[in-house]
Structure 1
Amino acid sequence: MTDQQRRRERRGAKHRAAPSRAVVRLLAAVGAVLVLGLVLVLSWRATGGRWLSVDSPSMGQAAPVGTLVLTRPTTLDEVRVGDIISFDPVEGGVTHTHRVSRITDGVVFTKGDINGAEDPRPVAADHLVGKVVARLWGVAYLVKSLPVLLPGAGLVWLLTRWSTPRWRMSTRLVGYSVVVCAAILVLRPLVNAAVLTTIGEAGLTTATVVATGLLPIRVQDPDGVFADLHAGQVGELVSAAANADGQVPFTVDAHMSVLWWTVCLALCCVPLAVSVVLGRRTER
């Protein structure tokens, strides 16, 4: 074997080893983040704290759909008007998170910020879950996506173990991107809206809608009547395009500023940036 052939083999071995070291570092970083997150979650839970997902738009922009709220145990005596609390309804069902609207003779009444009326029953001490101390916008969507993201990422990693070193990292980046897209399709966290009420009068229908996605949107009827909304924001469409059932068909599209588009484009370029960085490392 000539010296030139030996040098080529050493270069080839170096090129094959570099991606493996990069993967090890990446896995170590991800593992450290997961362990830290688990420690924080268990510590919060051990001290009586709870975390709850906001799944309805009743709190408007104060806690849009997809917000993760963190609560601390409290008593009714410590609750003040304007506080946001979580409580279990008397009739049962999912935990509600609403704002304290008034306190009368020691009885606490609550109301969603965009609801037209107070909740039908006051909050009793034994149904009070806690006072909201933090609202993490969009984090509930991330938590809900974990059952898709973690198994999907694991499957991509296993299926690409036997691919050639040259294509392994690029294939994994494509696979991970597909997994993220699958989670977005399942949860629809980015662009969405819900109809709260529709009122018909004199040939016109007023539809009250609320944005339930993370991105700014434009809700528009077939006649071009539209409302531009941010997460949790409420708007009205006065439309003459209602169908026979009195419902207004509308489309929901992203309607973002240059800053929002720049952020989204930067996130979409993350796989490309990672591949460029790893490619440069393998060339060293």
Structure 2
Amino acid sequence: MSIDPAAGQRGGKHRAARQPGARVRLLAATALVLLGIALAVGWWVTGGRWLSVDTPSMGEAAPVGTLVLTRPVELGEVRVGDIISFQPPEGGPIHTHRVSRVEGGAVFTKGDINGAEDPWPVAGDKLVGKVVARWWGMAWVVRSLPIVVPGVALVWLLTTWAAPRWRTAARLVGVPLVLCAAILVLRPLVNASLLMTLGEEGTTTATVVGTGVLPVRVADPDGVSADLRAGQVAELVSHAADATGEVPLSIDAHMSWLWWTVCLGLCCVPLGASLALGRRVAT
């Protein structure tokens, strides 16, 4: 058996040529991470805050899972129609509601889909800030980080001992599984909440609001249904209430072709990555 020295040299040059590209990608990714951390720290140090919307009270203006960014303002700068974040007088979680009226130096607030104003005015020392940005769905991403970051790190660590030929494949399977675990735990995609039920003359009116990222169809056993986007409210008049007045509701994804295309594209990302990596290895 003979060995072609030129072939070995060509292979060595090929491997060496790939190293600078990998190094550049690593440096670029590191720079992006550091830039993101610097921007977040700068925002926080200058008084800005980021808050998660966990209840549907703001309807479509800030659905569940929205990440809101606030800047500190004086109470006198607040105007009717502004969305502000504030601490209730009795404590508890921070509220993000719209200013409904300003009277006598007092600021009153109300959730967009709530039937009444909040029972207390907002005092200056309780004002967290005015909402300057609303990032739809991004709070779900933030909530998933305690699951995704350790999970991906564990997959990466465990696969470092795998044979090189299986390492990439194992990561392409393991990382999507971690993402699926986060989705199963948080349930951000398909969901709706029952706001209230009102029974009269043998019928029950159920008021529901979409609280998931994807459009859904909410239906009762009578076949009465409503299609909801995130934060959208609908009423279902049903004759299928049980003895306690509750209406059993089913919730299913109900998406347009565009939504299905986006979801299919996201599901195909691991396949596309594997094909791209396979082509690169082959060349």
The bucket for the TM-score relative to the shorter chain is: over 0.9
Amino acid across the alignment from 1:142: V
CA distance in 1 between counterparts of 2:253 and 2:24 reads: 36
Aligned alpha-carbon RMSD (Å) = 2.2
1:167-211 Cα shifts (integer Å, max 9, x gaps): 111110100000000010111111111000000111111000000
Partner of 1:89: 88
The alignment status of 1:71 with 2:70, answered yes or no, reads yes
TM-aligned CA deviation for residue 12 of structure 1 = 10
TM-aligned CA deviation for residue 212 of structure 1 = 0.5
**3-state secondary structure, aligned to 1:214:** coil
Contact 1:22–1:278 (CA under 8 A) maintained in structure 2: no
The alignment status of 1:182 with 2:181, answered yes or no, reads yes
**3-state secondary structure, aligned to 2:214:** coil
Contact 1:60–1:114 (CA under 8 A) maintained in structure 2: yes
**3-state secondary structure, aligned to 1:85:** strand
Partner of 1:51: 50
CA distance in 1 between counterparts of 2:219 and 2:90 reads: 37
The residue correspondences of 1:20-35 to structure 2 (distance < 5 A) are 27-35=26-34
**3-state secondary structure, aligned to 2:180:** helix
TM-aligned CA deviation for residue 240 of structure 1 = 0.9
Structure 1 unaligned residues grouped into runs of 5+: none
Q: 1:159 to 1:194 in 2, by over 3 A?
A: same
Identity rate, percent: 65
Contact 1:14–1:282 (CA under 8 A) maintained in structure 2: no
**3-state secondary structure, aligned to 2:266:** helix
Q: Pick which of 78-87 and 238-247 moved more.
A: 238-247
1:208-257 Cα shifts (integer Å, max 9, x gaps): 00000110000011221110000000011111111111111111111000
**3-state secondary structure, aligned to 1:3:** coil
Partner of 1:226: 225
TM-aligned CA deviation for residue 39 of structure 1 = 0.8
CA distance in 1 between counterparts of 2:23 and 2:146 reads: 23
Partner of 2:128: 129
Partner of 2:167: 168
**3-state secondary structure, aligned to 2:185:** helix
Q: 1:143 to 1:21 in 2, by over 3 A?
A: farther
TM-aligned CA deviation for residue 30 of structure 1 = 3.9
Structure 2 unaligned residues grouped into runs of 5+: none
CA distance in 2 between counterparts of 1:8 and 1:203 reads: 85
Q: How many residues align?
A: 283
Amino acid across the alignment from 1:34: V
Partner of 2:3: 3
Higher RCO (CA < 8 A, seq sep 6+): 1
The residue correspondences of 1:112-127 to structure 2 (distance < 5 A) are 112-127=111-126
CA distance in 2 between counterparts of 1:228 and 1:218 reads: 4
The residue correspondences of 1:33-44 to structure 2 (distance < 5 A) are 33-44=32-43
CA distance in 1 between counterparts of 2:270 and 2:25 reads: 14
Partner of 1:193: 192
TM-aligned CA deviation for residue 13 of structure 1 = 10
1:54-83 Cα shifts (integer Å, max 9, x gaps): 000000000000001000000111000000
1:75-104 Cα shifts (integer Å, max 9, x gaps): 111000000000000011000000000011
